Amino acid sequence: MHSDFQSSDKAPLRRGQDPCLQIQVDLSAMLDGELDPAGVRRVTVHSDVCPTCRAFFDGIREQVGVHRRLAKASVGTCSGSGGEVAEAHPLRRQLTDNQRKLSRILYELGRNFTLMGLSPEFSREVAKEPMPVPDVAMQGRNLLDEVARSDDASAEWVTAKELFDGRLRSPEENLARGQRLLTECLALDPGREDARIYLGLLHYARGQRTLARKQFEQVLRESEDAVMRGFALSNLSNIHLDEGDCDGAVRLLLELVESGVVAKQPRLVAALFNLALAHGLNGSFQESLRWFAKLVETAPHRRRWVAQELSRRSHFMHLVQMHPEARELAQSMARWFPSQGFPNPGFSKLGQVSDPLRGGCRGAGSN
């Protein structure tokens, strides 16, 4: 990895080379926005177990502050003479470019640690991800000794789970790492709306509703991106539902649906589910029926997912099954979503364990 954060040649790692070189190759690709999700997971778990690479990432975070201070200093230089101004503009462009590259690293790692803390499914996927063994780690050396005695052609690779001593880090530890990385990413590049969505989701998962609300509301104030606004509206509506403010949730969800963003980002189709849920909890059973019907019409392939989500909402299901005015709604739901949860559901909130901005496990933040 070059000190000026420019790309290095992405040549494949040869047998016998330092396995950490593969991480440098991956980091170079990450800086250029070319690293696939498996590569990002590999960087994430490697940095967690390799002291040398962990120190490297600490160095990256220190450079965040240095670049920020230099950028401010270059702005001041622009008020000087014409020659000074001409010299300052290329410096500012270079600093800005490097800041964006640094923020991309911090975002990708912060996102991964956040998902590892939120989603058991994602953690299990990471545990199976192959990664280079760091020679500097004693356990890595022991594993290399074992592998050296084998005939396995992929000798430099073990599973991340083995380097975790058979266990993954606790969700709280991963969330703490994710929060630190995402916060530093936003300090470097406040305009990274995807990082702000994940940071809000992280706060929400930790029960910090006020902090979560602040992140989502800032996206709504500052973003012109319809998809980012859609995720912010979706997650903010969850907070209103948690607080029993069904009318507030309906207002936000209607803004989301009426923007037309569901057609651009299919994961936001869950807003129709939340609208049906909010109306039902509010006693507006005909409106709830209308939105469930709209959901079935728009995304018939999501019926199983809806049934699973309904099976986690005992309060809503009990209300629908027992209220005399909800008979038509109950009958329609039993017909549309027969596979799960009638009439013995449990309860939890929608979307706390998945990736809001990409595909993956059951979608957190995508409701």
DSSP sequence for 144-165: HHHHHTS--TTTTEEEHHHHTT
The tokens describing 208, both together, are 């910090």
In this structure, are 145 and 58 located in the same domain?
yes
Paired with 130 in beta bridges are 159
In this structure, are 223 and 106 located in the same domain?
no
In this structure, are 152 and 223 located in the same domain?
no
Full-model pTM: 0.74
In this structure, are 277 and 143 located in the same domain?
no
343 in a structural domain: no
360 in a structural domain: no
What is the CATH number for 247? 1.25.40.10
CA 317 to chain centre: 30
192 in a structural domain: no
In this structure, are 153 and 31 located in the same domain?
yes
In this structure, are 155 and 223 located in the same domain?
no
List of the chain residues with pLDDT < 70? 1-19, 24, 28, 31-32, 57, 60-98, 131-168, 339-367
pLDDT at residue 233 in the model:
97
Q: Are 123 and 116 in contact (CB under 8 A)?
A: yes
Could you tell me the residue range of the domain that residue 258 belongs to?
218-336
d(CA 121, CA 130) in angstroms, rounded, equals 17
In this structure, are 154 and 224 located in the same domain?
no
In this structure, are 36 and 148 located in the same domain?
yes
357 in a structural domain: no
CA 37 to chain centre: 12
Report how far apart, in Å, the C-alpha atoms of 313 and of each of 155, 267, 342, 347 are.
Answer: 48, 20, 11, 4
In this structure, are 27 and 144 located in the same domain?
yes
183 in a structural domain: no
d(CA 124, CA 133) in angstroms, rounded, equals 19
Residue 130's SS3 state is strand
In this structure, are 260 and 148 located in the same domain?
no
pLDDT at residue 72 in the model:
59
pLDDT at residue 166 in the model:
52
CA 19 to chain centre: 27
345 in a structural domain: no
Q: Are 131 and 158 in contact (CB under 8 A)?
A: yes
pLDDT at residue 128 in the model:
75
Q: In the chain, how many domains are there?
A: 2
In this structure, are 222 and 143 located in the same domain?
no
Identify the sign of the CA torsion 79, 81, 82, 87. negative
In this structure, are 26 and 158 located in the same domain?
yes
182 in a structural domain: no
243 in a structural domain: yes
pLDDT at residue 251 in the model:
97
